[in-house]
Chain A
Amino acid sequence: MIASRGRISPAATALLLLGALYCLFPVAWVLIASTKSAEELFATFTLAPSTHLLDNIVTLSEYRGGLYWRWMANTALYAGVGGAASTLVSAMAGFALAKYAFPGKSLVFNIILAGVLVPGVILAIPQYLLLAKVGLTNTYWSVLLPSIISPYGIYLCRIFAAAAVPTDVIEAARIDGASDWGAFGRVALPMMRAGLVTVFLFQFVAIWNNFMLPFIMLGDDRLYPVTVGLNGLLNQGASQPAMYTSVVTGALLSIVPLVALFLALQRYWRVDLGAGAVKE
């Protein structure tokens, strides 16, 4: 943080801390609530912690033979594999758009830009209808495949490739006998690494956050990501309030890995949306 010239402003500090409090409060609540037993959840003072965290984790883990952990593994698969595949596909497309001149280039780019503005969730139902026709609904593929295409990822990759990969370097690699794919894989990809981490994080969060797609596509709850699973648990809680403890504990456990990932990779969040994204 650059503490530029000038005094520390108590007003600025107070406002920022207020914002931080607002954002941390529900996280602090879930941390405390998941230490409470089912009876305590509604009976004791909200912010008073208890000692049942481990019991709650055990109860949640035993729920239908560890279904919750299967949801977590599914989430890792959807967001992790989907995000990685999406990043690679975007990187290839972005590289082609940034570093080659070819007929139809501006048409392709404009179509992709228009795709950025298409509300993705709107597509979930038509995607369901199409995948139902080919018998792919209620499979891992039905959630993975639609998640791989990301117009915004391609747009970002084009910017990253244009900024981070000098054309001379690609030419030099080619003169040394590298093929186009070799130049991409061995020269361009490593140069775009920081940008690709950003694209991956974007996609990871977008897939992790896309509730409607798996909610519609999947009927078998063993294929659910954790969000759809928790939503189902909460619905059960309406009739069996004891479920609420598992819902709360599940919510806490589900955000732990992502929060950890966030804190670890914070410096990769270069979200300069409109402009060049990476300074040359």
Chain B
Amino acid sequence: MTAFPTTTRTPRTATRRSAGVPYSFLAPALLLFAAFLAAPIAYTTYLSLRRTQVTGLGLGAGSRTEVWAGLENYTRSLTDPDFLPSVYRVGAYGLIVVPTMLGLALLMALLLDAGRTRVGTFARTAIFLPYAVPAVVASLLWGFLYLPRVSPFADLLHALGITPPDVLAGSGVLWAVANIAIWGGTGFNMIVLYTALRAVPRDLYEAARLDGASDVQIAWRIKIPIVTPALIMTSVFSIIATVQVFAEPMTLRPLSNTISTTWTPLMKVYRDAFTRNDVYSAAATSVVIALATFLVSFGLLKLVGSRAFHQEDRT
């Protein structure tokens, strides 16, 4: 770490500079952090432990009061018949998206890094491009491509004499939504992994090649271990994104009858808060989701040590 040598500074400079300076630089960030991260978290936790009590007929001012509820909202939220299916669904979705997306991203990054092609720049730009397309628009595009009346894939299958499956119905929807996330995220992760690969000194591979190692062996034995910290970071961010899946299924809903209002946990939170006006239950579910995400990401980071963060402190 490079910091000002505060202890060795001459008294003249020390008096000129007030100790409050770093705090003034940090003030806007800390203020916004408190207002839009810490306070909402605290408030949600508080709400999750409250409920309204209706006295009398529930009419007039003061007839609805907020009282302490203990863990009641949590029990209600966790035992809601819609909750576990949404968790399983997102779990299955994550099991499809995270390995496929990162696997493809790693493969593409390794292919680009090996440099045995003339289409590298073009492919890199093309694969990265979907990152510029917001999830809503991506879902819109794919949604139309999934519609049997529009889909060129359906036309193709018809031409081959096969009845195309309706991916927007039944269990196909899970794959349909997963595909949108994979399409949107592969390029970004590829760039992350590719950047990590480019940082490796080339002569490392030179030596391996002299020893007779093939491209595949170099990738497997040298490159993949080197990008492991980057892979872990991309996994953590992908898992966080998975838990939050909301925009894609919400956008596809008008095109598919299969996507319920509680298709993902976050959609259930949204329904509880805004359709059912039950902010307490929504708050409890939010806390559960946030805790689960935090534990999974933190656990993953702990598992591999703090290799991924704090890198600059090593020097």
Segment of B16-24, B60-68, B84-92, B164-172 in the binding face: B16-24
Q: Decide if B132 touches A231 in the complex (CB within 8 Å).
A: no
Per-residue contact bits, chain B 22-39, to A (CB 8 Å; 1 contact, 0 not): 110110111011011101
B144 touches A29 (CB 8 A): yes
How would residues 107 to 129 of chain A score, 1 for a CB under 8 Å from any chain B CB and 0 otherwise? 01001110101111111011111
Shortest CB distance B297–A (Å): 5
**A117, A209, A274: the one within 8 Å of B311 (CB):** A274
**Residue in contact with B26 in the complex, picked from A45, A92, A167, A211, CB distance below 8 Å:** A92
CB distance A230 to B137 under 8 Å?
A: yes
In the complex, A248 has a CB within 8 A of chain B: yes
In the complex, which of the residues B4, B274, B307 has the most CB atoms of chain A within 10 Å of its own CB atom? B4
A24 with B116, Cβ < 8 A, contacts A46-B155, A171-B4 known: no
Interface of A is mostly: helix
Report the Cα distance A116→B37, complex, angstroms. 11
- The distance from the CB of A226 to the nearest CB of chain B, in whole angstroms, is 8
Scoring B residues 130 to 170 as 1 if CB is less than 8 Å from chain A, else 0, what string do you get?
A: 11111111101111110001111001000000000000000
Q: Does A49 contact B (CB under 8 A)?
A: no
B208 at the interface (CB under 8 A from A): no
Are B141 and A130 in contact, CB atoms less than 8 angstroms apart?
no
Residues A1-42 near B (CB distance < 8 A): 1-4, 6-9, 12-13, 15-17, 19-20, 22-27, 29-30, 33, 41-42
Which of B115, B297, B308 is packed against the most chain A CB atoms within 10 Å? B115
Q: Once A and B bind, how many residue pairs between them come within 8 Å at the CB atom?
A: 337
Find B140's partner among A16, A27, A230 (CB 8 Å cutoff): A230
Do B188 and A146 have beta carbons less than 8 Å apart? no
CB B236 to nearest CB in A, in angstroms, measures 7
Report the Cα distance A47→B145, complex, angstroms. 11
Say if the beta carbon of B125 comes within 8 Å of chain A. Answer: yes
> Is B303 located at the chain interface by the 8 A CB criterion?
no
Contact of A121 among B3, B183, B244 (CB under 8 A): B244
Known: A12-B117, A125-B269. A115 touches B230 (CB 8 A): no
A46 touches B151 (CB 8 A): yes
B57 within 8 A of A: no
Query: How distant is B37 from chain A, measured CB to nearest CB, in Å?
Result: 6
- Counting chain B CB atoms within 10 Å of each CB, the highest count among A23, A42, A145, A235 belongs to A23
Residues on B with C-beta less than 8 A from A89 are: 28-29, 32
Residue of A12, A22, A101 with most chain B CB atoms under a 10 A cut-off: A12
Contact B307 A149 (CB under 8 A): no
Report whether A255 and B133 are in contact in the complex, using a CB–CB cutoff of 8 Å: yes
Instruction: Tell yes or no: B79 within 8 A of A by CB.
Output: no
Contact present for A272 and B111 (CB under 8 Å): no
Q: How far is the CB of B143 from chain A (nearest CB, A)?
A: 8
Assuming the contacts A113-B309, A209-B134, A271-B188, asked whether A20 and B122 have C-beta atoms less than 8 A apart, the reply is yes
| B13 to chain A: closest residue by CB | A174
Q: Does A242 contact B (CB under 8 A)?
A: no
- List, in ascending order, chain A residues with CB within 8 A of B286's CB: 122, 125-126
Q: What are 13 A-B interface contacts by the 8 Å CB criterion?
A: A24-B126, A29-B141, A42-B149, A96-B21, A98-B1, A98-B2, A112-B29, A117-B297, A211-B246, A215-B250, A234-B254, A251-B137, A275-B230
Chain B residues packing against A (C-beta within 8 Å): 1-4, 6, 13, 17, 19, 21-23, 25-26, 28-30, 32-33, 35-37, 39-41, 43-44, 47, 104, 107-108, 111-112, 114-123, 125-138, 140-145, 149-152, 155, 183, 186-188, 191-192, 195-196, 199, 202, 215, 229-230, 232-234, 236-237, 240, 243-244, 246-247, 250-251, 254-255, 266, 269-270, 273-274, 279, 282-283, 286, 289-290, 293-294, 297-298, 307-309, 311-312
- Beyond contacts A149-B36, A227-B137, A274-B230: 15 other A-B pairs, Cβ-Cβ < 8 A, are A8-B117, A9-B116, A12-B117, A19-B186, A22-B183, A89-B29, A99-B4, A108-B30, A112-B29, A118-B293, A123-B40, A125-B269, A167-B4, A212-B244, A273-B230
> Which A residues are closer than 8 A to B by beta carbons?
1-4, 6-9, 12-13, 15-17, 19-20, 22-27, 29-30, 33, 41-42, 45-47, 89-90, 92-93, 95-102, 105, 108, 111-113, 115, 117-123, 125-130, 145-146, 148-149, 151, 154-155, 159, 162-163, 166-167, 170-171, 174, 180, 184, 205, 208-209, 211-212, 215-216, 227-228, 230-231, 234-235, 237-238, 244, 247-248, 251, 254-255, 258-259, 261-263, 266, 269-276, 279
- 5 nearest A-B residue pairs (beta carbon): A126-B40, A20-B126, A96-B25, A93-B29, A211-B247
